[in-house]
Structure 1
Amino acid sequence: MATKTSKRTGESSTTVAVGIRIDPKIKFALDIMGRLQKRSLTAVIEWAISNAIAQQSLDFDGNTLSSVLDKVWSTDESARLVMLAHHLPEALTYDELRIWETIKASDYFWHTYPDGSFGDDFNRLVLSRVRGAWKETLDHVEKHKSSPTIVAMTPDDIIADIEF
């Protein structure tokens, strides 16, 4: 998705452009809603989508999608994936699941126990390491995408791209 850039250099808009196809009857209804609500077509569509998100129930605990989005959303892609994996793992795509499973399998991203072992207790995740090695993690997952099993990352995989 492309982010619109304002006229001031380096400043990004808070909206993204999305192209959609809709039935002419739905478009007509949206136009009428806009007239009645004194809103633009874009504002009516945003309003309708926001209402749909607020009403979308998540079967497992009665929360709405809207309430979980507040916990998951981040402008940082790595944090967003980690929070999605933690709060709504069933919504992960296959590619996102491969990234998350690689993170879970790689001790670098976790506080280890005194015996050197680690688990996937979310509270022991070192998010700053996930952020710092995000590009390397994506590259590693891409490199091993044809592997039938998850290939854990090692510190060498992470520092290999760092120039001294």
Structure 2
Amino acid sequence: MATKTSKRTGETSTTVSVGIRIDPKIKFALDIMGRLQKRSLTAVVEWAIAQAIAQQSVDFDGSTLSTVLDKIWSTDESSRLVQLAIHMPEALTYDELRTWETIKATEHFWQRYADGSWSAEPSRLLASRVRSSWKEILDHVERNKASPTILPMTDEDLMPDIPF
């Protein structure tokens, strides 16, 4: 997904460009809808997708994708992955699942109990640590992608520039 850069240095657009192929009849129908709604083709496509998202059921209790997206969406990639893993784990890709399982297996990212133990319960996640270690997490997952098991991160993985 490409984020468009504006003419001012350092600013990014709030939209992304997506290339799609559609049937000529559907394109014609979208053009007609645009005329009827007094919208551009882009606005009609965006409106149609928003309607589909609002109608897409995601679980047994009748929640829609639109409702769940409000809980998941963040401009921060690490926050978005964590929220997706918590609220819609079935939607994780293989690579996202490996990343989430690495976070779950790494003690550093979890608040300890009074007795010093810890568990990977979402309410005990130290999101600020995940956010500040995001690059190291992704690097660790990439380095260990061939491993048949999830490998927890070590102090060396979390602080690679500091000799131990």
Judge same fold: TM > 0.5, yes or no.
Answer: yes
Q: Which of 59-68 and 36-45 deviates more? A: 59-68
Partner of 2:15: helix, strand, or coil?
strand
Task: Return the TM-score normalized by structure 2.
Answer: 0.95
**Residue 16, structure 1, aligned to residue 20, structure 2:** no
Does the Cα contact within 8 Å between 1:86 and 1:122 map onto a contact in 2? Answer: yes
| Structure 2 counterpart of 1:79 | 79
Task: Return the TM-score normalized by structure 1.
Answer: 0.95
Does the Cα contact within 8 Å between 1:105 and 1:152 map onto a contact in 2? Answer: yes
Deviation at 1:4, TM superposition (A): 1.4
Q: 2:21 and 2:69 mapped to 1: Cα distance? A: 25
Does the Cα contact within 8 Å between 1:106 and 1:152 map onto a contact in 2? Answer: yes
Aligned AA for 1:73? W
Deviation at 1:3, TM superposition (A): 1.3
Same amino acid, percent of matched pairs? 74
| Structure 2 counterpart of 1:111 | 111
| Structure 2 counterpart of 1:49 | 49
| Structure 1 counterpart of 2:91 | 91
Aligned AA for 2:50? S
Does the Cα contact within 8 Å between 2:156 and 2:162 map onto a contact in 1? Answer: no
Partner of 2:120: helix, strand, or coil?
coil
Does the Cα contact within 8 Å between 1:57 and 1:64 map onto a contact in 2? Answer: yes
Partner of 1:147: helix, strand, or coil?
coil
> What is the number of residues matched between the two proteins?
163
Deviation at 1:60, TM superposition (A): 2.8
| Structure 2 counterpart of 1:38 | 38
Q: Which of 133-142 and 154-163 deviates more? A: 154-163
Q: 1:157 and 1:75 mapped to 2: Cα distance? A: 25
Q: 1:8 and 1:112 mapped to 2: Cα distance? A: 45
Unmatched segments (≥5 aa) in structure 1: none
Q: 2:140 and 2:60 mapped to 1: Cα distance? A: 33
1:48-85 per-residue CA deviation (whole Å, 9 max, x = no partner) reads 00000000011232100000001000000000000000
